């Protein structure tokens, strides 16, 4: 019995140290795993719609776009810290890009937003953490290329067109004004800034 207790306490400490090291590394690297490309949001006033139905219509529209190897799933993300509530998002993943869409009732209206993120490789993150030269070295080894910008923009254009089509179909069927040209424009991040 003493031998079992010895093994539990001895190896339990190593397990605890490993868990602490994992949590520290996760917190260091989690913020670096994705880089922001673009975003968009709008609030349609005096408009009531189901989040679940909005995501269903959006999935159908995106499936009709003919994009190969696209993955769609509903995810539940924290609104803040570990004890905060969760909000439902539709996550669309293609290549190294992640497109998170939120549709939610807000006041008398319905709020819709999306974020397009690049997924950085683990090697890029590790290199960027090297003191003094990491950022420079990561930019040289993993440059932002025209290809990366163009493919992100293509994906963003298709996804944004799908979001706007679903909004237009819903607002038209409910007799609500459509979005203005200004309300339809996404906000791009300075994509060459690292």
Place of tokens 């992100």: 152
Q: What's the CA gap between 165 and 171, in Å, rounded? A: 10
pLDDT lower than 50: segments of the chain: 31, 194
* Per-residue pLDDT reduced to its tens digit, 96-136: 889 999 999 999 999 999 988 888 888 888 888 888 898 89
Does residue 109 contact residue 44 with C-beta atoms inside 8 Å?
A: yes
Query: Under DSSP, is residue 33 helix (H, G, I), strand (E, B) or coil?
Result: coil
Residue 112: its pLDDT value, please? 94
Q: Is the pTM of this model over 0.75?
A: no
Residue 32: its pLDDT value, please? 52
Q: What's the CA gap between 14 and 59, in Å, rounded? A: 45
């Amino acid at each position: 019995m003493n031998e079992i207790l010895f093994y539990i306490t001895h190896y339990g400490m190593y397990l605890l140290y490993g868990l602490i090291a994992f949590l520290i590394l996760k917190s260091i690297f989690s913020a670096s795993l994705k880089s922001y490309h673009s975003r968009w949001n709008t609030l349609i006033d005096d408009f009531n719609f189901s989040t679940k139905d909005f995501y269903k219509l959006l999935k159908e529209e995106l499936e009709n776009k003919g994009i190969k190897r696209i993955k769609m799933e509903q995810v539940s993300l924290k609104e803040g810290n570990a004890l905060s509530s969760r909000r439902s998002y539709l996550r669309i993943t293609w290549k190294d890009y992640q497109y998170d869409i939120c549709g939610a009732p807000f006041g008398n209206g319905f709020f819709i937003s999306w974020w397009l993120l690049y997924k950085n490789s683990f090697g890029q993150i590790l290199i960027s953490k090297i003191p003094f030269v990491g950022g420079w070295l990561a930019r040289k080894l993993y440059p932002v290329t025209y290809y990366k910008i163009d493919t992100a923009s293509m994906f963003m254009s298709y996804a944004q067109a799908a979001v706007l089509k679903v909004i237009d179909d819903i607002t038209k069927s409910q007799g609500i004004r459509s979005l203005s040209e200004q309300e339809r424009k996404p906000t791009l991040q300075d994509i060459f800034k690292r």
